[in-house]
Amino acid sequence: MNDQESTTHFGFSQIPRSEKVRRVGQVFSSVAQRYDVMNDLMSFGLHRLWKRFAVELAHIRPGQSVLDLAGGTGDLTRLITPLIGEKGRVVLGDINGAMLEVGRERLLNEGIVVDVIQLNAENLPFANNSFDLITIAFGLRNVTDKEAALASMYRVLKPGGRLIILEFSQVYLPPLKPIYDLYSFRILPLMGKLVAKDEDSYRYLAESIRMHPDQETLKNMLIDVGFERCDYHNVDGGIVAVHRGFKL
């Protein structure tokens, strides 16, 4: 195994591949209790609109089965549940137990009962052709082996099923880029320090966005593992993008 194969990025740092799950786990365990507050603050509430847009693009129908990957505190699950109705099923999955506990408690407090499973997206513990829809919001960039995760998602989707990826992406408006960089690397870590008491985790989050594949690269990754009719929709100048792929 060469150096490129044995290491991966953790933000802007290179670390052993075997260390990434643990390091990312530490980040999200640290911020779990303040995660939702920080999402509202650092996106000025826009993350709620981004998530609604992603769910709209999924064209969910009553009775469908949905896997909400990297679902964390349950924002997408909360939006999806009323759309599938009583005969549908939502599974909330995340690799991080602390995030899942926050999500489970929030959902139960709102009267929403779903299956909650701690899992690794690279090796999903479900049979082939299990779900009509898989969503993953702001989680793919934290996965060590993205190709393996996408292939695993493809495997467990039913024929005719679709994948929706909502993720921070590459800003394509030149005037916006310096402002976004200033915000990401100066203001965001400061907010993390003051609100979540964790400057380093939010510095990592800013760096991880820059290391994530750009829109076209991610689209081609979907195609490479078998997805068809792949497209993406840029939102707010490419700060985020919603990718779709279909298993036909």
120 is in an annotated binding site: yes
Q: What is the 3-state secondary structure (H, E, C) of the chain?
A: CCHHHHEEEECCEEEEHHHHHHHHHHHHHHHHHHHHHHHHHHHCCHHHHHHHHHHHHHCCCCCCEEEEECCCCCHHHHHHHHHHCCCCEEEEEECCHHHHHHHHHHHHHCCCCCEEEECCHHHCCCCCCCEEEEEEECCHHHCCCHHHHHHHHHHHEEEEEEEEEEEECCCCCCCHHHHHHHHHHHHHHHHHHHHHCCHHHHHHHHHHHHHCCCHHHHHHHHHHCCCEEEEEEEEHHHCEEEEEEECC
121 is in an annotated binding site: yes
Of 238, 220, 225, 207, the closest CA to residue 141 belongs to: 207
Q: Which residues are annotated as a binding site for S-adenosyl-L-methionine?
A: 73, 94, 120-121
Q: Which residues are annotated as part of the binding site?
A: 73, 94, 120-121
